[in-house]
Amino acid sequence: MFLNFLGMLAGLIIALSHIFDPRFDGVMRWVMVTCGLLIFIYHLSIALDKKKNRVVNQNEEKN
């Protein structure tokens, strides 16, 4: 779970750093921003899926 949060943080840092970085212009800037956001969304979905599975397993144990 910790690695998923690190992946989310890395993706967010990549996206934000390339939005505000004046060295990259045009298409390359938006490719890097898009890749960073995709990394963030991917790790977020994994973290939420694991959390949902944990809650479902706890509910099944109670029943």
For position 13, what pLDDT does the model report? 92
Domain count, the chain: 1
**Dihedral sign, Cα of residue 46, residue 31, residue 10, residue 14:** negative
How wide is the angle at C-alpha 11 spanned by C-alphas 55 and 52, nearest 5°?
A: 5
For position 18, what pLDDT does the model report? 87
Domain that holds residue 45: 2-62
For position 63, what pLDDT does the model report? 65
- Averaged pLDDT, groups of 10, the chain, 63 residues long: 87 90 83 93 91 83 73
